[in-house]
Structure 1
Amino acid sequence: MPVQNSTQAMIERRNRLLGPAYRLFYEEPVQFVRGEGVWLYDPAGQRYLDAYNNVACVGHSHPRVVEAIAKQAATLNTHTRYLHETILDYAERLLATFPAEIGNIMFTCTGSEANDLALRVARTCTGGTGIVVTQTAYHGVTGALAEISPSLNLPDPTAPHVRLVPAPRPAGDKTGEIFAGHVRAAFEDMKKNGIRPAALLVDTIFSSDGVFADPPGFLAAAVEAAHAAGALFIADEVQPGFGRCGDGLWGFARHKLIPDMVTMGKPMGNGHPIAAMAAKPALLKEFGARSRYFNTFGGNPVSAAAATAVLDVIEQEGLTENAKRAGADLRERLNALRSRHALISDVRGAGLFIGVELRHGDAPATKETARLVNRMRERHVLISAAGPDGNVLKIRPPLVFGTEHADLLVETLDQALREIATT
C-alpha cells in the first residue's frame, strides 16, 4: 500500500476508534515507529529532527532510562501504599534541588494531576477559590484545569472564579512592574466580586503565551502581588523544568524567588508517567489535617526508577549546561536569520526553550507561521507554534541537542522562510 494511502487509512481508523476530540499535528500527519536521542523515525526509516518534544528531555529511548525501567519492572511494581525505598531516595534527591523552604513532595502520574493537587492545596490553605492565569495558558486537562487553560480553545474556557492576565511582553526594566500590575488588578477585581483569592499559577517560561523569559527576575513582583492578596504562588515547571532553561533545574530559579508550590510532569521520567507537586511543609501540614490524598500508582517503583535515571543522566551528561550553551548558540543563529528575514520580529527564550515571533510590521503572521511549521515537517524537522495569535515558533528539543542539530534546524528554517517569502 502506498505511504499516503496507508497514512490516510490510519487516520480514518484512528478517528473511528478514538473519536473526534483528539487532534493530530501538521497538515500531513506523520507516524513514528522508533526514537533515539534527538531523532524520530517513520516506518520507511526516514529520520526527523525532533526540536519540539520536551517530554523526552534526555533524548528518546535513552538506554540508561530504558534499563532502569526494565530492571525495576522485572523485579516489582506495585502501588504507593506499601513502603518502598526507591521513591524515598528519589524524593530526598529531588527536594535537594529546591530552595530549603520547599521540603515536601507528593507524587502523581501526570502534570495535570500535579496541578490539580496544587489547586486543592491552595484552596484548602487559603479558604479561597480565585485563580489568576495568563491569557493563553495551558495547565492541564482535568475539569478544574480546563477552566484555567484558555489555550484549549474551549467555547467558554474560564469560570467565574478565574481571571486572565496578559502575558509579560518584553518591556525592559518595566516588564515585571507591568505584569505585576495586571496580576494585582485581577486579584482586586476578584475581591470586588466576592471571590477570595487562592493562587497565581504560571508556567515559568510562559510557553503557550509565546515564550517569555526575560529579564531574569521580572516574575518576582507578580508573586509579591499575589501574596499581598492572600494567594499562593504555584510554579508550573512541567515544560521549563529539569534543566531546560539552562540555569539550574527550574525555570523559577531565573527569577530568584521561592514558590509556595512547584508542579512537575512527565519530563521527570523522560515520558514515563511520573509527575509531582512539591510544597512548603506548612501548606501540606494544613492540607493533611483537613484532607487526604491517594494516588494508586503515582510514584510507583518503576516510575521512581525511571525518574532516578533521568536525574543521573542530566547530572552525569551535563545536560543543564548543554541546554545553556546550545540554547545560546541556537538563539545567536536564529538572530542571524532575523537580519535576513523581515518576517522574524523577535527571538527569545532561555536555554533550550526558544520562541521565534513572526510578524508583518504590527500584524501577527499567523498564516505564515502555520505554513512554516508544516514546511519544516515536510523537510523532516519538527517544531510547533504558540502564542495567542499562533505566530510564535516554539522550539524545545531534547536536552541532548547540539551544534550539528542546530545546523540542520537553522538551515531548514532559512530555506522554508525563503520559500514562504516568494509564494
Structure 2
Amino acid sequence: MSDTSAPPKGMAMINAFDPNRATGLSPEEQAMVARRQKLLGPAYRLFYEHPVHVVRGEGAWLFDSHGNRYLDCYNNVASMGHAHPRIVAAIAEQAGKLNTHTRYLHETVLDYAEALLATLPPELGHCMFTCSGSEANDLALRIANAHTAGEGVVVTALAYHGVTSALAALSPSLGEGVPLGRHVATVPAPDAYRGGAEMPARFAADIAAAFADLARHGIKPSALLVDTMFTSDGVFPAPAGFLAAAAEAARAAGALFIADEVQPGFGRTGTMWGFERHGVVPDMVTMGKPMGNGHPVAGLALRPELLERFGKRARYFNTFGGNPVSAAAALATLRVLQDEKLADNATAIGAHLTEGLRRIATRRPIIGDVRGAGLSIGCELVLDPVTKTPATAETGRLVNALRERRILISASGPGANILKIRPPLCLTREQADMFLEAVEELLPG
C-alpha cells in the first residue's frame, strides 16, 4: 500500500553515471568502466557524468589516481575523516592479534557495548551487532514482528532503509522496479517548505491514518521506521520535537517506533543521535555507516523487554557482527568522535554553511529553501519561488559542475532538486567557505 506522495514511477537513480552518454573520459577511465561493467554487471551505479577514480583519503579530502584533491561534502561513511590515523591503527592492531567469529568471549565487543549504550537513553539497555545498516534494520523488524505479532510497517514516501529483500520492500526511494510490500504504507515526509508550517504537526495524524488503513486491510501494525532526518526524502529537520507525536501515534496503534540513525547518527546533527532533537526515546535505534568510519560494522540498541519473546523463540548469530576487528574499529571511532568534539564541530560548521547558503539565496533566487541540523543540510533549488517547481536539470548541472571543480556533492528528494550536504564531521571553516564560493559562482541567476 502507498499514497500519492510516492516517488514518480520509474524514477532513475539521482546523479547516476550513464555509460551510454559518457564523454570526455580518458582511455584509462574508459577501460575501467568497461571492466567494471564486464565484471560487476549492470545493477551497480556510479556517480557523476564523469566518474571519479579515488585512491586515497585524508580528513575531508579525497585524492584521485593523478593526485588531484577533491573536497568531500557528501560522505557520511568516513564521518570522522577519511583514513583517520587512530581508527586505522586500532583496526590494524586488532587484525594483527585476532579476528574470528562472535561465539568466543572477547573484551572489546563488551567494552564497545558499554560505551555505546552510555550515549543512549537508559531505557535502551541491550545492543546487538551486524555488519550493515540493512542487516540492523532487518533484525529490528524481526524483533518488532515477534513482539507485536504484526507485520504492518509505515515509512515515508521516499525513504531508504536497506537492500535486503525485507528492507527493499519498504524503501520506496529504490523506485518502481522494487515494489513495496503489501504490508507497507507510506506517508508524506514532514516537508514544511512545500507542505506549510503545519506539515510536521500533520505527520502524526498521517501515521495514525496509515496504521488504521493497514488494520482495515487485515494487517496488524508492527513498526514505524523513519530516518530521523528524512535524508532520502530531502532532509527535513524542523521543528525539533515533532517526532514525539509521531512515536505516540505509532504506539497508540500498537506499533513500535524504530529510529533509523544510519545516516543521522554519531554526531552528524550536532547531537549524538538525530532522535535526541525530538525529546523522544525510541523502542529501537538502528545504526551503521559512520559507526566504524568506513569499516563495515552496524547494529541496534533496544529496550530489553522487546527481546523477551524474540530471544525465547530464536537465537541470534551473526558471524562477523561484533567481531574483534569490527569492535575495535567502532570503539576507536566513538572515542575519536568524543575526544575531538566532532559533534560540536558539526554544529558550528553546519551553522556556518546554512547561514552562507541563505546569504547566497538572497542573491540567487533559484535557492528556494535551506534547512538542516549540524552537518546534515538540504538546499532546495526551484525554478520559481512561488510555484516551487523543482529545478531538476539545474541541480544536476550544479552537482556535475561542482565535481569538475573537485567538490563532491549529490542530490535527493522526489524532484531530484535538493542538494544533500553531509561532509565528514571534521570539515573546517575554510573548507566550508571553499564549498560556498563554488556554489555561488556556479549557480545560475
Shift in Å at residue 285 of structure 1?
1.9
Q: Distance in 2 between matches of 1:410 and 1:74?
A: 43
Aligned residues with identical type, % of pairs: 63
Q: What is residue 370 of structure 2 aligned with on the other side?
A: 347
Q: What's the secondary structure of 1:219's corresponding residue? A: helix
Q: 1:28 aligns with which of 41, 44, 50?
A: 50
Q: What is residue 396 of structure 2 aligned with on the other side?
A: 370
Moved more, 153-162 or 113-122: 153-162
Q: What is residue 11 of structure 2 aligned with on the other side?
A: none
Q: Distance in 1 between matches of 2:377 and 2:346?
A: 11
Q: Tell me whether 1:176 sits opposite 2:180 in the alignment.
A: no
Q: 2:304 aligns with which of 273, 277, 281?
A: 281
Q: Distance in 2 between matches of 1:374 and 1:47?
A: 16
Distance 1:405 1:173, change over 3 A: same
Letter of the structure 2 residue corresponding to residue 95 of structure 1 = L
Q: Distance in 1 between matches of 2:76 and 2:270?
A: 14
Shift in Å at residue 102 of structure 1?
0.3
Q: Distance in 1 between matches of 2:256 and 2:338?
A: 31
Shift in Å at residue 119 of structure 1?
0.4
Q: Is the 8 A contact 1:175 1:218 kept in 2?
A: no
Q: 1:215 aligns with which of 212, 215, 239?
A: 239
Any residues of structure 2 matched to 1:21-420 within 5 Å, and which? Answer: 21-170=43-192, 174-247=198-271, 249-361=272-384, 362=387, 363-418=389-444
Letter of the structure 2 residue corresponding to residue 232 of structure 1 = L
Letter of the structure 1 residue corresponding to residue 409 of structure 2 = I
Give unpaired runs (5+ residues) of structure 2. 1-23
Q: Distance in 2 between matches of 1:262 and 1:287?
A: 17
Q: Is the 8 A contact 1:240 1:353 kept in 2?
A: yes
Q: Is the 8 A contact 1:274 1:298 kept in 2?
A: yes
Shift in Å at residue 323 of structure 1?
0.5
User: What RMSD, in angstroms, separates the aligned Cα atoms of the two structures?
Assistant: 1.1
Q: Distance in 2 between matches of 1:141 and 1:416?
A: 35
Q: Distance in 2 between matches of 1:265 and 1:177?
A: 29
Q: Is the 8 A contact 1:243 1:320 kept in 2?
A: yes
Letter of the structure 1 residue corresponding to residue 207 of structure 2 = V
Letter of the structure 2 residue corresponding to residue 48 of structure 1 = Y
Q: What's the secondary structure of 2:268's corresponding residue? A: coil
Q: Distance in 2 between matches of 1:276 and 1:252?
A: 16
Letter of the structure 2 residue corresponding to residue 186 of structure 1 = A
Shift in Å at residue 156 of structure 1?
4.6
Q: Distance in 1 between matches of 2:147 and 2:267?
A: 30
Give TM-score, length-normalised by structure 2. 0.92
Q: Deviation per CA, 1:90-113: give whole Å up to 9, x if none.
A: 101100111110000000000000
Shift in Å at residue 3 of structure 1?
6.5
Moved more, 151-160 or 206-215: 151-160
Q: Distance in 2 between matches of 1:89 and 1:43?
A: 39
Shift in Å at residue 5 of structure 1?
1.4
Q: Distance in 1 between matches of 2:340 and 2:276?
A: 21
Q: Distance in 1 between matches of 2:357 and 2:200?
A: 26
Q: Distance in 2 between matches of 1:152 and 1:123?
A: 23
Q: Is the 8 A contact 2:25 2:50 kept in 1?
A: no
Letter of the structure 2 residue corresponding to residue 267 of structure 1 = P
Letter of the structure 1 residue corresponding to residue 443 of structure 2 = L
Q: Deviation per CA, 1:215-251: give whole Å up to 9, x if none.
A: 000111111100000000000000000000002x100
Q: Is the 8 A contact 2:151 2:220 kept in 1?
A: yes
Q: Is the 8 A contact 1:51 1:396 kept in 2?
A: yes
Shift in Å at residue 312 of structure 1?
1.1
Q: Is the 8 A contact 1:175 1:215 kept in 2?
A: no
Q: Distance in 2 between matches of 1:174 and 1:102?
A: 31
Q: Deviation per CA, 1:358-390: give whole Å up to 9, x if none.
A: 111221111111111111101100010000111
Q: Is the 8 A contact 2:203 2:246 kept in 1?
A: yes
Q: Distance in 2 between matches of 1:130 and 1:117?
A: 15
Shift in Å at residue 4 of structure 1?
1.1
Give TM-score, length-normalised by structure 1. 0.97
Q: Distance in 1 between matches of 2:291 and 2:179?
A: 28
Letter of the structure 1 residue corresponding to residue 265 of structure 2 = G
Distance 1:172 1:323, change over 3 A: farther
Q: Distance in 1 between matches of 2:338 and 2:424?
A: 15
Shift in Å at residue 157 of structure 1?
2.4
Give unpaired runs (5+ residues) of structure 1. none
Q: Is the 8 A contact 2:268 2:375 kept in 1?
A: yes
Q: Is the 8 A contact 1:176 1:222 kept in 2?
A: no
Q: Distance in 1 between matches of 2:347 and 2:434?
A: 19
Q: Distance in 2 between matches of 1:41 and 1:155?
A: 35
